Amino acid sequence: MAQLTAQILVIDDDQALREACYQILARQGFQVETAASGNQGLALLERASFDVILLDLVMPDMDGLEALRRIKAMDTDSEVIIISGYGTIPSAVESIKAGAFHFLSKPFAPDDLRHLVARALEKRRLNLENIYLRQELKSKDGLATVVYQSEAMARVMEMAKRVAATDSTVLITGESGTGKGLVAQRIHQMSPRARRPFITVDCGTLVETLFESELFGHVKGAFTGADANKIGKFELAQHGTLFFDEISNISLEVQAKLLRAVEERKVSKVGSHRVITVDVRIIAATNKDLSQAIKDGTFRGDLFYRLNVVNIQIPPLRERKSDIPILAQHFLEKYTSRLRKPIQGISPEAMDLIIKHDWPGNVRELENTMERLVVLSNGPMLEPADLAYAGLFTDQFPEGQAVTLRDLEREHILRTLKKFAQNKSEAARALGIDRKTLRAKLKRYRIIDA
């Protein structure tokens, strides 16, 4: 998909000036439209959105200040550059007070026009970025970190690296918690769009009735509670990446509207017919089988084919066991630093149990478990007894057998004694108890005689 450019509108009754502006700006690669009067310009604005508008102050059908007010009422986000002759400089200054970006005095050099339009576009970009920063929490950890050492994940990341250089739409599939969102972020961060917004649409949590408003925005008065204009996520992601997480959760009605936006890169706010041209890279993710959803009639086949240009399948954690130790250590370091806990590492016995666990919740479950272990542990190392709090000993006992804390403690003591070759003093120190307490526990659990 070719990258779209800024949309510029020139409103001036002077044909020679309109054509000059068109030629200068079109050579810059901008999409330029022209209007010979204020009314003609407003009619164009009724059906489309423009990033920058060049507006003459003196036109036969409409005063420039009146045109400016009507433009700002229709689209507060467009940047308006006033074109003024020498005698209208005071009016040009007044127009800036009314919301214009700047003014350009006639006659002007091509470089002056190019420079001022570039400044207006940068201001519009910064305005959108400020809205984005207010609405979206950026990752506190900076760059998204995908931790792995398995060949399976190496293949995933190689594919992510290759597709990042393009603008192709990507569908990331895999079970919940496998890290689909992180891979999407890494694709964005490795792409030419890295310095522009990465906007997430959480399709699983958005209220159905507000979904269109979140995606496309709305105008004031579009529905009850719409007290002001709202910029949708498509606009917020302008020149960046829009990530649809768990896209299978959206309704068929919204799927139809999303398909149009994906195909045409054009959206309209709820309550408005004005078309906004957007330049976004689309990445979607799902934990569902969309082919089956198409057969079930819950997902549109045409949308699936639009999204599934490049498919990246992330394997579950149970199929890449070699990633578990490095992930566990990564999360241990993350939470010991954040929670200021002096835990030095994970014992071999504890790590063995962590690796053996199936992790049905995948990386997300492992991270939550490691955080919980850091919170609850008091020792210098994470030991099997600490893992008992996370229920990770259950697979060491026959299926269906009730596992009590007494069973877990006995198992842990036996493992610790084995680790220290039955040296009770060393075992007691590792367990964080004195030798007398250990002897009492050994007697209670009938590991030794009194």
Each residue of 293-313: pLDDT tens digit?
999 999 999 999 999 999 999
CATH class of 7-126: alpha beta
Domain range annotation of the chain: 7-126, 151-315, 324-444
Instruction: Write the CB contacts of 298 (distance below 8 Å, at least 6 apart in sequence).
Output: 248, 252
Share of the chain above pLDDT 70, in %: 90
CB burial of 170-194 (b: ≥16 within 10 Å; e: otherwise) equals: bbbbbbebbbbbbbbbbbbbbbebe
Q: CA dist 216 to 232, 234, 248, 251, 322, Å?
A: 4, 6, 19, 15, 43
**Eight-class DSSP state of 3:** P
Residue 174, sorted as left (phi over 0), alpha (psi -120 to 50) or beta, turns out to be left
Which residues on adjacent β-strands are paired with residue 102? 81
Domains 7-126 and 151-315 share a fold: yes
Return the CATH number of the domain spanning residue range 324-444.
1.10.8.60
pLDDT at 448 > cutoff 70: no
240-261 pLDDT, tens digit per residue, is: 999 999 999 998 988 998 999 9
Query: How far does CA 384 lie from the centroid of its chain?
Result: 37
User: pTM for the whole thing?
Assistant: 0.70
135-161 pLDDT, tens digit per residue, is: 554 444 456 788 999 999 999 999 999
CATH class of 151-315: alpha beta
